[in-house]
Structure 1
Amino acid sequence: MASVAAMSGAGTVGDITKDLPSLQFENALTEEEVSYIDLRARSHAITVSACAQATYLAAILNEARQKVLELKSPQQSKTSKFLQDAPPRDPINVGIIGCGRMGLHLANCLLTYADVQPQELHISTRRPELLTSLQQKGVSCYYDNIKLATSVHLLFLCVLPSQLPTVATDICGRIPAHCIVYSLLSSVPIPRLRQVIKCPNIIKPEFEFRPENSHLPWDCTQDVCIALENQQQVEITCPLNLIKDESLINTKEKWAEMVLYSFVNAGLRIGLDREQIVTLVNLVILGQSEAREYEVKITSFDFTKRSDMFPIFDLTAVAANETPLTKTITQNEEIRKQFIKKYKSVFDKFFYWKGIKQIKQKEKKSD
């Protein structure tokens, strides 16, 4: 939570050049270059969407592991809740290979919104000495792609396409079976990436731009973490959002299928059975409560028509083909609404903890 607070201070920092036209970015552009100004907003919108979606995945994987841990070690009673020590954690270890512009934004979002503690985040980059601020928080920053790829549950690839051959040489065949690879290499398709790193557990968002939406407003001066304080912008980044006509950038809905199947695979890897996994899907991904019954929920047959134990799903095949889940995701509006609500709640938590922090600060001042 600290990363946004540190950047925003008492309030959100706006564009300091707003009333100074001579200092604004557009002032230095030629008439020909002005025609490309929309690309700036589009690039920023893609960055915000990519970071939000990646952060969401880390958050739900962390939440799922925490719920499983709590079931194994339940609290004694609600009345003694405040007398007990903080519950133990069973977090995912998260890795980022490449920490340029995208990687740095992603790291800050993970620390702010995804319940990723600094000691649970690892970054491999050619210039780790440039990441002083992250290192001071406790993030492990080094240049060893092999060490990172073999020690994390969720691996983000944030390198340039031209750097992929070097990275692939390091990590090819070394990624553990339980690790999910999340690619932010826009020009490298999943089949090609699978071929060079020898891993089938790959998620990659595909972004779409509608020329007719190029007039839509988008503040490209905001820091990515700050942009995700805006709930409307958060909703726009959700691939299942119902306001695509209001979105500068949209993400193909296949992303949601890949996330759901990767979630099932993660449950299988920690020993959950079919029924337990489906229950966890509805609790964590749809945000349903254990205390009530729902008319609409995801069932095991939404993933596969098999009636026995879930197999380990090949995410490359999920990305390339229609699945039993495709119809549920695209046609069931209630499922979509629940998914969107839970997606937005990941970023709502920040406001809750920020409010608690502000209350405590006021109490200290009054004392």
Structure 2
Amino acid sequence: MAMLEDLESLQFERGIEEENRSWLYLQRRCQGLMIKGCAHATFFCKLLRDLRKLLQEKQTSRCSSTESLASLANTPEDDELKVGIIGGGHLGKQLARVLLQLVPIPAERLRISTRRPEALDEFQKLGVQCFYNNPYLAGWANLVFLCCLPSQLPSICTEIQSSFKKTCIVYSFVSAVPIPRLKNLLNHTNILRPQYQCVEGFANIVGANKEIIAALQDPVILQATCPCNPAGGVILNIKWLDGVFYAALNVCKARGTRLFQALQLLNELFPSVHFKKCRKDGASCPKFQLRHFLSAGYSENLCPGSCLPWFDLTAVQLRETPFSDHLLTNPAFQDHLTHLYCNSFGIPLPEEQQDVARTGSPSQ
């Protein structure tokens, strides 16, 4: 393909009549949406993987006797992240490639359910189980990505709604089905659905001319996909970040972690690099606090050993929350979150670029 790259007569645009060339922006928009969608799914998987690993380390360190270690080994909750993808079309394949290479998720921890598993030979050769059994996939996975067509979603939801656990996170790429409808179809509240908006008249969609994995290894393109950064012609609704961090708290809840322990774990996931405006020891860096997730009325009577509540992620993404208020009004927190995002892809963001990274207010 590289030999043909500069041959104009073989380019996709060559066969399009002049009067129809104005629609080429739709192709770039589609690629931009794919890049951002895969980037954000990758970041979410990395966050969950690292959080589960940290939870396991903390639990192991608290076990001082052989009996306790044996009890921990028999815990039914599996420590490693298990990811399922429902749908083996273009989106499902692209997502699987990105998760395998950039998270990376081990092949044995990724499974794909599709009507045509025989079309996924490239993944089966890597050791990924591909089959057509949506209920089985939903019962096995900790995180399920819905990459199907909107017309297929009602029947798929009927199949899987009684199969997954309460703790399973459903991540929907089906943009045509809103969150309330999805909640009713699945009879489930642990749902995350990113909402994207394409900027009208924006022609230079970021990364539109690159393969997705290559695009996400480009520092400029990656920075443009940052959830706090409305750049590149495709904007992510900032409420997605609410869902991400409340979902992380639900993971802690499922493992029996206390409220203040969960906040400590989230703070440990933040990057260790500090800006010049932070003191050398990082003491002035923004930290997660109780008031960032719970209302004052709810939290005022809580003690340090209080249990975590279970959060309805559908409500979190549809309403104002203490977390979204804090994020929108705290530029320093946005900067650190941008650092966390870029570092998770192995691309540290130079401090001198921090002002560039925030080109506008996050989209609501």
TM-score range, shorter chain: 0.7 to 0.9
Q: Deviations over 1:320-366 (max 9, x none)?
A: 1101111111111111111111111121179xxxxxxxxxxxxxxxx
Does the 8 Å CA contact 2:205/2:234 hold for their aligned counterparts? no
Aligned match of 2:217? 229
Aligned match of 1:301? 291
Aligned match of 2:266? 281
Deviation at 1:219, TM superposition (A): 4.2
Does the 8 Å CA contact 2:192/2:313 hold for their aligned counterparts? yes
Q: Alignment RMSD, CA only?
A: 2.2
Q: Secondary structure at the match of 2:171?
A: strand
Residue 23 of structure 2 corresponds to residue 36 of structure 1:
yes
Residue 168 of structure 2 corresponds to residue 179 of structure 1:
yes
Deviation at 1:107, TM superposition (A): 0.7
d(CA) in 2 for partners of 1:194, 1:334 = 34
Q: Secondary structure at the match of 1:155?
A: strand
Q: 1:70 aligns with which of 38, 50, 57?
A: 57
Q: 2:241 aligns with which of 233, 251, 256?
A: 256
Deviation at 1:174, TM superposition (A): 2.5
Deviation at 1:17, TM superposition (A): 4.4
TM-score, with length taken from structure 1: 0.82
d(CA) in 1 for partners of 2:247, 2:293 = 11
Structure 2 CA distance for partners of 1:287 and 1:295, relative to 1, 3 Å: closer
Q: 2:128 aligns with which of 122, 130, 139?
A: 139
Does the 8 Å CA contact 2:249/2:262 hold for their aligned counterparts? yes
d(CA) in 2 for partners of 1:115, 1:19 = 33
d(CA) in 2 for partners of 1:225, 1:63 = 21
Structure 2 CA distance for partners of 1:329 and 1:161, relative to 1, 3 Å: same
Write the mapping of 1:178-197 to structure 2, written as runs, cut at 5 A.
178-197=167-186
Deviation at 1:310, TM superposition (A): 2.7
Deviation at 1:282, TM superposition (A): 1.6
d(CA) in 1 for partners of 2:185, 2:228 = 30
Does the 8 Å CA contact 1:123/1:140 hold for their aligned counterparts? yes
Deviation at 1:57, TM superposition (A): 0.7
d(CA) in 2 for partners of 1:249, 1:220 = 11
Aligned match of 1:25? 12
Deviation at 1:137, TM superposition (A): 1.2
Q: Secondary structure at the match of 1:188?
A: coil
Write the mapping of 1:1-367 to structure 2, written as runs, cut at 5 A.
16-73=3-60, 90-212=79-201, 214-216=202-204, 218-241=206-229, 244=230, 246-284=231-269, 286-288=270-272, 292-305=282-295, 306-307=298-299, 308=302, 309-348=307-346
d(CA) in 2 for partners of 1:68, 1:315 = 21
Structure 2 CA distance for partners of 1:217 and 1:176, relative to 1, 3 Å: closer
d(CA) in 2 for partners of 1:295, 1:230 = 27
d(CA) in 1 for partners of 2:285, 2:225 = 27
* Worse-superposed segment, 165-174 or 25-34: 165-174
Q: Deviations over 1:53-89 (max 9, x none)?
A: 1111111111011112223335xxxxxxxxxxxxxx9
Does the 8 Å CA contact 1:41/1:220 hold for their aligned counterparts? yes
TM-score, with length taken from structure 2: 0.83
Residue correspondences, number? 319
d(CA) in 1 for partners of 2:261, 2:284 = 17
d(CA) in 2 for partners of 1:289, 1:180 = 30
Q: Secondary structure at the match of 1:99?
A: coil
d(CA) in 2 for partners of 1:247, 1:68 = 36
Identity %: 33
d(CA) in 2 for partners of 1:196, 1:41 = 32
Gapped regions of structure 1 (runs ≥ 5): 1-12, 75-88, 351-367
Deviation at 1:217, TM superposition (A): 5.3
d(CA) in 2 for partners of 1:332, 1:173 = 41
Aligned match of 2:67? none
Structure 2 CA distance for partners of 1:70 and 1:289, relative to 1, 3 Å: farther
Q: Secondary structure at the match of 1:123?
A: strand
d(CA) in 2 for partners of 1:296, 1:341 = 12
Does the 8 Å CA contact 1:175/1:199 hold for their aligned counterparts? no
- The one-letter code sitting in structure 1 at the alignment partner of 2:94 is H
- The one-letter code sitting in structure 2 at the alignment partner of 1:69 is Q
Does the 8 Å CA contact 1:113/1:346 hold for their aligned counterparts? no
Structure 2 CA distance for partners of 1:118 and 1:322, relative to 1, 3 Å: same
Structure 2 CA distance for partners of 1:288 and 1:328, relative to 1, 3 Å: farther
Deviation at 1:233, TM superposition (A): 1.2
Does the 8 Å CA contact 1:125/1:141 hold for their aligned counterparts? yes
Q: Secondary structure at the match of 2:170?
A: strand
